[in-house]
């Protein structure tokens, strides 16, 4: 495992070591009073050892990568999906007629952490890459596990522009991982044959339950670019 993945795993797995705080407190309670006693040398040493062990535990917790670094690594992993998407749908970049759109949200809540800035971050993300071919949308979806760098549950679909009837965000109840949400916001791509693709984006319930803020993604900007391309393509065929 490389240093990046090890650091990401440490970030998501680390929890404040309460035992370490207890060690520091007990060490102080034992060692400080013993300093004033002529026979307290052994107690002082023992107290110092206890406090030192606790201090190392707290240092290990605080010596993790920053929230900002996790954000940068997450962006880096998501940006790598563009080339993977092209490979999976079997087209060359020169065959595309517009800038691709990448939409993502949490895949589940099994790996997550509330950062020091109170923002909730997720270790497993569900992503959708939409590329624009000459006559159709080329859609690639996957689950990106940023703790391992693995890409899971991949799928590809092609939808002719004339068959796409709606690209929107909708709020409804639904299931994400093992959690039921009454108010979840979803990106939904609908064809004349029914709902074709969907990505969970956001829910205020998550922030309330886990004591942090779940920031919205820039999905709306990406959706607008898809709508713009669809309008252009549909008008060209009129």
Give residue limits of the domains in the chain: 3-62, 67-236
Q: So what's the pLDDT on residue 209?
A: 85
Residue 168 confidence (pLDDT) above 80: yes
Residue 234 confidence (pLDDT) above 80: no
The more confidently predicted of residues 26 and 134 is 134
**Between the CA of residue 125 and those of 53, 132, 144, 234, what are the distances in Å?**
36, 23, 5, 32
- The beta strands (E) that lie in 89-193 are given as 101-106, 112-114, 120-122, 124-132, 136-145, 150-160, 164-176, 179-191
What is the distance between the alpha carbons of residues 210 and 120, in angstroms, rounded to a whole number? 8
Which band of pLDDT confidence, cut at 50, 70 and 90, is reported for residue 174?
confident
The pair of structure tokens assigned to 82 is: 């563009």
The pair of structure tokens assigned to 155 is: 């799928």
Residue 17 confidence (pLDDT) above 60: no
Q: So what's the pLDDT on residue 107?
A: 93
pTM for the predicted model, two decimal places:
0.79
Percent of the chain with pLDDT over 70: 84
**Between the CA of residue 120 and those of 22, 109, 169, 212, what are the distances in Å?**
28, 10, 21, 6
Is residue 215 within 8 A of residue 185, CB to CB? The reply is no
Which band of pLDDT confidence, cut at 50, 70 and 90, is reported for residue 10?
confident
What is the distance between the alpha carbons of residues 49 and 70, in angstroms, rounded to a whole number? 34
Q: So what's the pLDDT on residue 14?
A: 67
Q: So what's the pLDDT on residue 21?
A: 64
* Residue-wise pLDDT tens digits, 80-105: 999 999 999 999 989 998 888 999 99
């Amino acid at each position: 495992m490389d240093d990046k993945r090890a650091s990401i795993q440490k970030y998501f797995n680390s929890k404040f070591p309460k035992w370490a705080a207890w060690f520091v407190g007990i060490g102080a309670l034992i060692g400080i009073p013993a300093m004033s006693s002529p026979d307290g040398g052994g107690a002082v040493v023992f107290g110092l050892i206890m406090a030192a062990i606790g201090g190392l535990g707290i240092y290990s917790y605080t010596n993790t990568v920053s929230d900002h670094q996790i954000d940068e690594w997450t962006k880096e992993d998501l940006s790598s999906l563009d080339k993977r998407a092209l490979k999976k749908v079997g087209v060359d970049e020169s065959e595309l007629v517009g800038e691709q759109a990448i939409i993502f949200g949490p895949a589940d809540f099994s790996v997550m952490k509330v950062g020091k800035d109170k923002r909730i971050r997720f270790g497993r993300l569900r992503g959708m890459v939409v590329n624009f071919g000459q006559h159709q949308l080329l859609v690639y979806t996957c689950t990106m596990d940023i703790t391992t760098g693995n890409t899971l549950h991949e799928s590809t679909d092609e939808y002719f522009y004339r068959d796409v009837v709606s690209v929107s965000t909708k709020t409804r109840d639904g299931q994400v991982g093992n959690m039921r949400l009454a108010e979840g916001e979803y990106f939904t791509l609908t064809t004349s044959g029914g709902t074709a693709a969907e990505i969970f984006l956001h829910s205020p319930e998550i922030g309330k339950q886990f004591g942090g803020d779940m920031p919205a993604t820039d999905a709306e900007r990406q959706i607008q670019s898809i709508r713009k391309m669809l309008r252009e393509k549909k008008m060209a065929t009129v």
